[in-house]
Structure 1
Amino acid sequence: MRTHRIKTDGLTQQVLEAGPEDGELVVLVHGFPELGISWRAQVQALGAAGYRAVAPDMRGYGGTDRPEARDDHTILHLVGDLVDLVRALGRDRAVVVGHDWGANVAWHAALIRPDLFHAVACLSVPFQPRIPKGPPTVLMQALARRVGLGEFYINQFQAEDAHLEFEADVASALRRGFYAYDGATPDNRRSTGFQPEGTTFLSAAPDDATLPPWMSEHHFAEYVEAFTVSGFRGPLDWYRCIDLNWSLTAAFQDRRIEVPAAFLVGDRDPVRVYAGQHEARMKDWLPDLRAQVVLTGAGHWVQQERPQEVNAFLMEFLSARGRPD
């Protein structure tokens, strides 16, 4: 594996890469608060299997450029960055794999550019079709009131200064975030995504939060170093563009993802509390859904918690789907 930077039309992207240059291109998209190194086990395995595996630090993260404007972090910018990356790598087709926020980006990449992203596999976050009723944050507020569990963390992230709490103590913020969504964390200490009154995403996590069993001190230090430099404003701008994304994607209302697809989620993933209902209808929106797997005992950071199972899932999907024409 090697880490290097690639100049694309829109920005310079740092990527983790492995595998032969002529191998089928697989682009792996991380979520929040992660980096390209979150896919290290998958990049290594895919590269060894003959694929050209590339995991970028996404816009606003790590070693990739960090635009200043909030509205430069829309879903169209993020999909555009992947298109630019594939072109800069000298290709006109790729498989896209996403996790967490990266799953949303990957789903939309396959939705908007199926000519380029000819297969998609996502972890943790199912495809969620655009709802024509209104902006997502309004619907999220209504959901929070209905379930009575507190304020939804994504609504809290809309505040223009929400990133400052993360930047006040980067190591503590990351430790709390990883702990709150990990499969090994006890049920009564794992997050639901809804924050009790008077708490935030970070303050609701236990003060004695520890690193997950899969997270070494060295690996954790990589995250701390990267986010100390890059900060959290850009990553939270992804969330602050959610309503804008809803407006920008009106042209894709009711469109389905037609390319071969696969989905995997841990049965202890907190995302299932507020997005799990979409899992039951995935076949309606992904008619070529080849696999839908629930991994027992796994939490949200599934590709790092259970790398061997995730690697096997991706290999099986790529192999059964067959090579492109």
Structure 2
Amino acid sequence: MQVLRTPDEAFAGIADYPFAPHYCDLTDRVSGAALRLHYIDEGPADAAPILLMHGEPSWSYLYRNFVGPLVAAGHRVIAPDLIGFGKSDKPASRDDYTYERHVGWMSDWLTALDLKGITLFCQDWGGLIGLRLVAAFPERFARLVIANTGLPIGTGWSEGFAAWLAFSQKVETFPVGFIVNGGTTRDLTSSEIAAYEAPFPNEGFKEGARQFPTLVPITPEHASVAENIAAWQVLAGFDKPVVTCFSDKDAVTHGGERIFIERVPGAKHQPHTIVKGGGHFLQEDAPDEVVAIILDHINRG
């Protein structure tokens, strides 16, 4: 496995991201290759962690407006960059990226940090991977906040996802900043767009971002269908508190909250929220509202 690493200077000019870098060394279970995973870790080390998981094609910069308020409320805040994204290492071949490898990488990171009592906030692929972590280690999680994501088992897809899949595979140059901007209801600034593009100095660094859409198990023939079905069996018994906060302007995941409300016991009788005017990346459109949802969820026990 050839592994690329974005130079530190690529991130030097990014505003509103003052967080000290933290790194965890991983060993790929298949190839034995060494990989370095980056994460934000702010706030009291002995506090129960809030785990913020990003998706495609973003990175922990997506949570820059969450960290300060959550730390100010007394919490430890951890936001990893998935392998292939942000400041984490990036395997150079698309074939190096599979759903199960991503779950394995993040499982090894989670156990290396020995995180417990976790409040998980997950969106997009942060949910596809994060909810698999919950299923694998339910004892480590205290509560969940699920936003604009899913855990598909090969039973179909939305028109919005079909359009995204087609675009992602056909576009000659993968326009990361343009994609994130297109998933918000407000216009990102030029500096924000540049921050989303910073992890990818050239197209060779984008193989993970290119591959992610093809890995979503939307048909019975996709890999990871069986693993996600097994994960749902665990979630069907997960009775710790779960809230959803999906957006009303996200064509990809619109209505996706219903399956969690119906199937996860911990979601019963909880104050679920539809974020009005939020796009796919609701972290950009409504950071204050989402932070308040997380804090309220924690404070209710």
What amino acid maps onto 1:121 in structure 2? V
Which of 244, 249, 255 is the matching residue for 2:223?
244
Partner of 2:193: 220
Partner of 2:66: 42
What amino acid maps onto 1:266 in structure 2? S
SS at the partner of 1:20? coil
What amino acid maps onto 1:220 in structure 2? I
Q: Does 1:4 pair with 2:22?
A: yes
- 1:293 positional shift: 0.5
SS at the partner of 1:14? strand
Q: Does 1:233 pair with 2:207?
A: yes
Per-residue displacement from partner, 1:20-40 (whole Å, max 9, x unpaired)?
111111221111121111111
Per-residue displacement from partner, 1:250-304 (whole Å, max 9, x unpaired)?
5446443413212112211222xxx434333322221111332101122122112
2:84/2:208 contact within 8 Å kept: yes
1:175 and 1:91 mapped to 2: Cα distance? 32
Q: Does 1:96 pair with 2:98?
A: no
Structure 2: segments with no counterpart, 5+ residues? 1-18, 29-34, 217-221
Alignment of 1:27-66 (within 5 A): 27-66=51-90
- Cα 1:182–1:25 change in 2 (3 A) is same
Which of 165, 182, 185 is the matching residue for 1:183?
185
Partner of 1:299: 279
What amino acid maps onto 2:251 in structure 1? P
Per-residue displacement from partner, 1:214-233 (whole Å, max 9, x unpaired)?
x3333322222212257321
What amino acid maps onto 1:267 in structure 2? D
- Cα 1:291–1:298 change in 2 (3 A) is same
Q: Normalising to structure 1: TM-score of the pair?
A: 0.72
Alignment of 1:4-23 (within 5 A): 4-10=22-28, 11-23=35-47
Q: Report the number of matched residues.
A: 267
Per-residue displacement from partner, 1:99-141 (whole Å, max 9, x unpaired)?
122122222222232122332212222x4452xxxx46xx44x
Higher deviation after alignment, 72-81 or 18-27:
72-81
Partner of 1:81: 105
Structure 1: segments with no counterpart, 5+ residues? 167-172, 185-211
- Cα 1:247–1:288 change in 2 (3 A) is closer
What amino acid maps onto 1:165 in structure 2? T
1:103 and 1:251 mapped to 2: Cα distance? 16
Per-residue displacement from partner, 1:174-204 (whole Å, max 9, x unpaired)?
34323432224xxxxxxxxxxxxxxxxxxxx
SS at the partner of 2:91? coil
1:224 and 1:69 mapped to 2: Cα distance? 19
- Cα 1:82–1:94 change in 2 (3 A) is farther
- Cα 1:44–1:247 change in 2 (3 A) is same
Q: Does 1:265 pair with 2:246?
A: yes
- Cα 1:91–1:250 change in 2 (3 A) is closer
2:93/2:207 contact within 8 Å kept: no
1:248 and 1:164 mapped to 2: Cα distance? 32
What amino acid maps onto 1:246 in structure 2? V
Q: Does 1:152 pair with 2:176?
A: no
Q: Normalising to structure 2: TM-score of the pair?
A: 0.77
RMSD: 2.7
- Cα 1:251–1:90 change in 2 (3 A) is closer
SS at the partner of 1:283? helix
1:163/1:232 contact within 8 Å kept: no
- 1:151 positional shift: 5.3
Q: Which 4+ runs in 1 deviate beyond 6 A?
A: none
- 1:163 positional shift: 7.0
Which of 256, 259, 267 is the matching residue for 2:235?
256
Q: Give percent identity, aligned residues only.
A: 22
- Cα 1:292–1:78 change in 2 (3 A) is farther
What amino acid maps onto 1:2 in structure 2? A
What amino acid maps onto 2:211 in structure 1? D
1:28/1:56 contact within 8 Å kept: yes
Partner of 2:5: none
1:150 and 1:22 mapped to 2: Cα distance? 40
2:69/2:291 contact within 8 Å kept: yes
- 1:66 positional shift: 1.7
